Structure 1
């Protein structure tokens, strides 16, 4: 049975080759290592990582803490030790291609290699009580530190089209300095199977992201990279010329008609009317300033999702949703949304189960407005 190796090359393929140093490679693995808790491993506290590129391999050799040659296998591992930032031992090795392994008679001339007779000898070396203790202490600490980021990620995974979450954090949370994190920066890329990047930040560094063109560019700097981001991604709003095409697509998905978008002091506004007279009122100023309001055919507001910072007690704000907002003491919940109503998200089966209860099991009657709720959760 093939060991559960983790291939790393695709992570760095968008970068200029000279930017992919051993520090960049291993920093990324360290910062995202909590995402690998559920990845299959031979030893719980050891990540076995492979590269198919000789240039990456040579750089990993140069940066390794130890170089271990396995005589019986004819291959070597570049070992990076556990540290405060990562409780995993990271083992890297070269494999010429996904379908072909390599075997050598001797170690590379590059670096100082320690010869071991077998993988069993390697595992005896790294599968120690001390290493396991360090890993478990690190894991326990990180789970506590990442409790809130994890809940936010779970909210996006459960309620939106996000299928993968990358959480950047170190030490007590802040991805920059390791101090206690009290804030986060997040961005979502893609549509049907989106990826969310979530960066934990302390109070001292919460505004550092504003010095960059977008969250993705800021994420790159954490790994010593200078990412070239297309102009459109740098915007913090939807360009005016795209409003009507976007609203037209939403209308088509809903099977609704929409009023011509009007721009006022609070941004763009339009009404999407379904066949039964129910309608959604959209108010969209920018990606962080919006409101989506659902009305029945008697103009009673049944649901509202908005970004107003008027409920600081709601987790993961300011974005939140009002359940039956016209009722006194109505329920207010996190919404896990922002101001791009076009991205498709909630899995339909989950939406139907939730909204059947919320709207008194009238799913058949409400199918069109449910479809629009799907469009809102991004």
Structure 2
């Protein structure tokens, strides 16, 4: 590196590596300003390899001081290209390291349309060129946002950076909602759909509403699919149509050490009703054989498909596929009778994907919904 810089000081220098120099962890928005990374060497035992501050994720351990202070801060290396995180970002160093803390101030930006100022190195991290790319520009989707496969295009004369995307690919919003469910703990169906068999209510707390960005109205119609678990096969579906979405508040009991207390929870109540005669079956018209499959059989062969619609628009939302439904196994239970009848539909288990593994199911249908736990 030293030889390359000294050989032709006026030439632009590009440094390529898989590891990174500044690279925010995916739960940190690119727009986070005045963040600081270590200028000194980092021990592999510090949180993770080079991750002491979670702002240089996937970075390196040794020779950090000479690289940052001799080459990057003064701009002797003009551009660095890195990968590792499958998340596109552009970073610059904006302050000298402190005498005691040895920290360098950094700033992150979204690369598309970015023009780098002169005077310091432009630190580029590319997204993923094959799989779906991760992204968190402004804290959207609790840090689990996604983009199409992509690469970076740099004009060294102007310092302008652009993202080149796969125009045929859009990340599925249904997959993002599954990420929020599994990884983030934002569970849209944690309370279940509850009703009398013809009308149902779904409660969504404010934590899920914030993480999903779109709110309850994004969850359009819901279909409960029935399978016999035997030769009779697929039986059809019951279609639930959204009729209202209103702000609500309720209480939940939480544990406080040896005691517990009721705490208020804010959110929305989304109302559904069975869409009679509009495709699918009516809950009330199910014959006894189908009811036996659903209720008494423990409902191993029920699935929900939640159909989505785009509510919010703009650069954080427009690139998603909202046409693919969100699908997963479900359980159905029934209690009481008559006026007090309560039917509850929940996501089954909580650790199952929307794609069953059919290899073992052929010989043992009871495994459906049970064998693909994470």
Q: TM-score, normalised by structure 1?
A: 0.27
The structure with higher relative contact order (CA 8 Å, sep 6+) is 2
The structure that has the greater radius of gyration is: 2
Q: TM-score, normalised by structure 2?
A: 0.27
**Which structure dedicates a bigger proportion of its chain to strand?**
2
